[in-house]
Structure 1
Amino acid sequence: MDPDRRRLGSTTSVRRQEIAMARVGFVGLGDMGSRMVPHLLESGHQVVVYDIRRDRIDPMTALGAVTADSPAAVARDTDVVISAVMSDDIPAAHWGEDGILAGMRPGSVLVVLSTTTPDMLRMIASHIPAGALVADAPLVGGVRYAAEARLTMLLGGSDEAVALTEPILAAFGDIERVGSLGSGVAYKLITNVAVMAAEAGLREALDLADTLDCSYDITLDLLARGPMADVVRRAKDRGNPRAIRDSALDFDVLLSAGGEDNLPISSAGRVRLWAAVEAASTPPVFFDLTTHTTALPEYRSR
């Protein structure tokens, strides 16, 4: 074995052991993050958290997490920083004097869980301080999976970043190594093409049921007997909520990466999901795709 490679492997192994019970930062305590932080605490990690909403922070500190006053402060005080913000919030959470990148130190690792684009990951990497590392690990699975530590993480990054990140992410479920930095978000976008087309397709099937004066209950029962069974079951699962707005935003990210001309089905699906978001008087969740709350305007009163 090449002696330099042997030394690198040995150094990484030691560093992995050091970081196994590390101080972990977590930025973004929304529907997913708020259910993931408890697993870190249960695993014995010291956890430092930040969110722009105080009401999201208090439940985490009640469990034993420590509060920071900015994303930069989280990074300055931790070995591994997990960023779980929505795609629109990535710039504010990562750049500027209060952003995560301002607080990163040599030897620390940033793990981006957000559904974003490979270009955004490369931009983050280009601004990472010397000696710090970055990996991407977007999530497969919803709120129920996060609560039960059954998520799948699509992990991309250098060998060193991946090796140091895996012991932390293992608290959340299964890890699938998918390649170099940006590969995680690339594969997440690819899977989202099919998943979100199914979400929009479910709503459009019920739009046709309205047009033809047919029953939602019968329509959903018939769909549940075929290849749409998992989609219908997920939609009707009130214990596994998913904001439709989040899916619509994911469509925006998907189309920014792939181009509307190249993804006509996704382009049409985005229009229908944003219409569903705007239809409801309160923020709709996935379940609402199966009700008249998100129907076309002329059928919402049914």
Structure 2
Amino acid sequence: MVAVGFVGLGDMGSRMVPHLLRANHRVSVFDVVPGRIDAMTALGAVGADSPAAAARDADVVISAVMSADIPGAHLGEGGILAGMRPGAALAVLSTTTPAMLQSLASQMPAGVHLVDAPLIGGVRYASEAALTVLLAGSDDATALAEPILDAFGQVVRVGPLGSGVAYKLITNVVVMAAEAGLREALDLADVLGASYQTTLDLLARGPMAAVVKRALDRDNPRALRDSAVDFDVLLAAGGEDNLPISAAGRRRLWAATEATSPPPVFVDLTSHATALPRFRNEPGRGQAGEPGLHGE
């Protein structure tokens, strides 16, 4: 049994902690939303009242917070670093920038190991322990973290500290361009008076099949805003001038995110709710399953 601290119990973290419990690890958890802590303690985790408390006495601490929340979760009297002991390892799962990771690395307590371990795969992969973990850091640090992270799927060692974040951002360029491209394909369907359903059916027959399947997964609670924020992180790292396709994709996803109230979830990317404004209020045009050029 290994003592594990886990900070960040959102869509991903809440599905990852149960795997640690099933592996008989002692898991101490924290989240800013008390109800999320309660859900994990009901499964056998120990609730903590701060990130520092979750990290205290842990052999490995896992951080699964949004990039913008990294300073608040890790630094200060109540932060993760304040609770860590020498010899322990911190695994940062966040999709973040190399600069943010380097800033955190510069403030690590003496004797505490740091690895970056961002994830490939969404909520369904987290539930099924089928994630790919991009593990990066020194040999000593990765040796401590890997046996714990292995509970989440397949661990791939990708190089020294910072390599995990780098490769996660690189893969996100393709994945997120595909997400924005899917929305733009449906925008063109609106312009041409075509059917969303036929468009999605045809895209699902080719190399976009996995993207369409994920976009239509109604069991995926991911907020569409999180994808837009990931574009922000990507462009903060790479620069808009260097990544013009990503810059255009960010504009389209933020427009989609701000299109509806309540805020859309990821599956809404394929609905009329996130269409271009001039088509958004035209029922019957472009909706999945409704008549279009092909007369479904």
TM-score by length of 1: 0.92
CA-to-aligned-CA distance 1:190-231 (integer Å, 9 cap, x gap): 000000000000001111111111111111111112221111
CA contact (8 A) 1:104 1:128 kept: no
Measure the CA separation in 1 of the matches of 2:260 and 2:72: 28
1:257 aligns with 2:237: yes
1:37 aligns with 2:17: yes
CA-to-aligned-CA distance 1:110-129 (integer Å, 9 cap, x gap): 00000001221111111010
RMSD (Å), alpha carbons: 0.9
Measure the CA separation in 1 of the matches of 2:142 and 2:42: 31
Measure the CA separation in 2 of the matches of 1:235 and 1:26: 28
Residue matched to 2:154: 174
Among 52, 66, 69, which residue is 1:86 paired with? 66
Measure the CA separation in 1 of the matches of 2:84 and 2:41: 23
Amino acid aligned to 1:228? M
Q: CA deviation at 1:242?
A: 2.5
Measure the CA separation in 2 of the matches of 1:77 and 1:51: 18
Amino acid aligned to 1:62? A
Residue matched to 2:208: 228
Q: CA deviation at 1:145?
A: 0.7
Task: Report % sequence identity.
Answer: 75
CA contact (8 A) 1:152 1:175 kept: yes
Task: Identify, as 1 or 2, the structure richer in helix.
Answer: 1
Residue matched to 2:193: 213
Residue matched to 1:164: 144
CA-to-aligned-CA distance 1:119-152 (integer Å, 9 cap, x gap): 2111111101001100010011111111111111
Among 253, 273, 277, which residue is 1:273 paired with? 253
SS of equivalent to 2:18? helix
Residue matched to 2:181: 201
Measure the CA separation in 1 of the matches of 2:222 and 2:31: 19
CA-to-aligned-CA distance 1:245-265 (integer Å, 9 cap, x gap): 111111000000000000000
Measure the CA separation in 2 of the matches of 1:200 and 1:241: 18
How many residue pairs end up in the alignment?
A: 282
- Hey, which bits of structure 1, 4+ residues long, moved more than 3 A? none
Among 144, 167, 170, which residue is 1:187 paired with? 167
Deviates more, 1:122-131 or 1:280-289: 280-289
Residue matched to 1:61: 41
CA-to-aligned-CA distance 1:42-83 (integer Å, 9 cap, x gap): 100000000000111111000111111111111223111100
Amino acid aligned to 2:265? V
1:100 aligns with 2:100: no
CA contact (8 A) 1:276 1:295 kept: yes
Measure the CA separation in 2 of the matches of 1:126 and 1:136: 14
Measure the CA separation in 2 of the matches of 1:62 and 1:76: 21
Among 95, 101, 104, which residue is 1:121 paired with? 101
Deviates more, 1:253-262 or 1:100-109: 100-109
Measure the CA separation in 2 of the matches of 1:29 and 1:241: 13
Q: CA deviation at 1:161?
A: 0.5
**Gaps spanning 5+ residues in structure 1: where?**
1-20
Amino acid aligned to 1:213? G
TM-score by length of 2: 0.93
Measure the CA separation in 2 of the matches of 1:61 and 1:218: 45
Residue matched to 1:110: 90
Q: CA deviation at 1:239?
A: 2.1
**Gaps spanning 5+ residues in structure 2: where?**
284-296
Q: CA deviation at 1:40?
A: 0.4
CA contact (8 A) 2:220 2:267 kept: no
Measure the CA separation in 2 of the matches of 1:218 and 1:148: 30
Amino acid aligned to 2:195? S
CA-to-aligned-CA distance 1:242-301 (integer Å, 9 cap, x gap): 321111111000000000000000000000001111002122122111110111112112
CA contact (8 A) 2:91 2:145 kept: yes
